[in-house]
Amino acid sequence: MSGWLFNNLADAWLKRLAVPFEYSEHVKLADFVKGWEKTNRGRPGPPIMEDYALSIAEAMAQGVAMPSVILHQTPLGVQPLDGLQRCYGTHLNGGTFVAAHIVKPTSTKTIYLICDCANYQLNGKRPPEEFQLQQALRLIDEQEMSVKEVALSIGLRAERLQQEIDRRHVVAVMADHGMECGGQINGALDALRPLVDDSPKIAAEILKVHVGAGLSAVQTRDLVGKVMKHTGTHERLRVVQHFRSLPDISMRMNNSGSRRLSPTAKFFNQLRGLINLLKNEGDEIYLGTEAERTEVERMQNFIGGRIRVLLKNHTGT
C-alpha cells in the first residue's frame, strides 16, 4: 500500500491565498460528507473519471505515493476540493484514509476559487495565458471577485488581467457603435482605452482610421493623445478629420479596400499552434458562460472570414 506525499505546491498556494487550513496525514474516508464522490466543481462532466481513478488505485497498490489532497471542513464532514480522483482511487483500492490540507470554513467565493483553479495550479503544467485569462474573467463575472484576488489565485499579474478587462470593455463599447473588434487589432484596443468612456463616437472614428490606414499602435496612441488635448466633441472630431486628410493616410484608407493580405510564416505558425492546442487540450477548455460561448463564436466568424479572404487573394477568385 502506498503512502502519501506532502503537497508542497498546495501548501504554498493556499498560503499565498491566505486561506486558513491545517495539514493532516490521516483523514478517514469515513469522515467525508455523504455522497462526496458525486460532486466535483472543478471540472465539467461526470465528477469521477473512472479510468483515471482506477489507474490511481493500481499505482497505489504498487506502492506509488500520492500528493496530498485539499479538503474543506464542513459541519457534515470533509468535502474534497482538489484531488477527488485520488480520494476515489483510494476508495477503489480499499484504502481508508488520505493525507490532506484541510481548509477551515471560509467564504463560498474562496471555495469556488479553489475548486476552479486548483487543477491547473497544482498539476505542474502551466496552461496557456489565454486560457488563464478566460478562467479569470469567468471568476470575476460569476463570483464578483476582485482583480487582485483572482490574479493572485491564478498566477497572473494583476496589471495583465486589468489590461484584458480594459480591452473587453473597449470591444463592448465599439460594438455598441457598430465597430467589430477582431482580437487586439494591432494594439488599437489598448490605445483607445483612455478615450472610450467620455468620447465613444470619437473612439469609433479613430478605430476606423486605425483599420483603414493600417496604423501601428504607436500612431494610434499618438492620435488619441492629440484628440484628448481637446475637451469638446467638435474639436476632437476636427483633429481626427485633419489626420484622415493627410495625403499618406488618405491614400492608405482609399486603398484599404483592395489591399491584399499577405500571410506570413508567423501567421501560419500561430494557426498550427492553435490546432495543436485544440488537439492536445481541447477537452480541457471549459466554456462555462454564455459570454464565453458568444466570444468564441465571434472569434470563429472573424477568423473564418479572414482565412476566406486569404484564400481568395491566393486563388484570385
Local confidence pLDDT in tens for the 317 residues of the chain? 458 999 999 999 899 888 899 999 999 999 999 999 988 876 666 788 888 889 999 999 999 999 999 999 999 999 999 999 999 999 998 999 999 999 998 888 888 888 878 877 777 666 677 777 887 887 788 777 788 888 887 878 889 899 888 888 888 888 887 776 655 466 788 889 999 988 999 998 998 888 888 888 899 999 999 999 998 899 999 999 999 999 989 888 877 654 444 456 666 777 788 887 777 776 666 666 666 667 777 777 777 766 776 666 555 55
pLDDT of residue 126: 66
* Cell digits of residue 312: 481568395
Half-sphere exposure of 166 (CA within 13 A, CB side): 17
CA 19/CA 106 separation, integer angstroms = 8
The CA distances from residue 202 to 188, 216, 223, 242, in Å, are 13, 18, 11, 13
pLDDT of residue 259: 43
Backbone phi, psi, residue 97, to 5°:
-150, 165
Q: How far apart are the first and last CA of the chain?
A: 68
CA 3/CA 309 separation, integer angstroms = 59
* Cell digits of residue 234: 467638435
Cβ atoms < 10 Å from Cβ of 32: 19
The CA distances from residue 308 to 55, 222, 302, 304, 313, in Å, are 45, 33, 10, 6, 9
Q: How many residues does the chain have?
A: 317
DSSP string, 21-54: EEEEEEEEGGGBPTTGGG--TTSSS-S--HHHHH
**What is the radius of gyration, based on Cα positions, of the chain?**
26
What residues pair up with 32 in beta bridges, in sequence order? Answer: 78
Q: CA triplet 140, 146, 147: central angle to 5 degrees?
A: 85
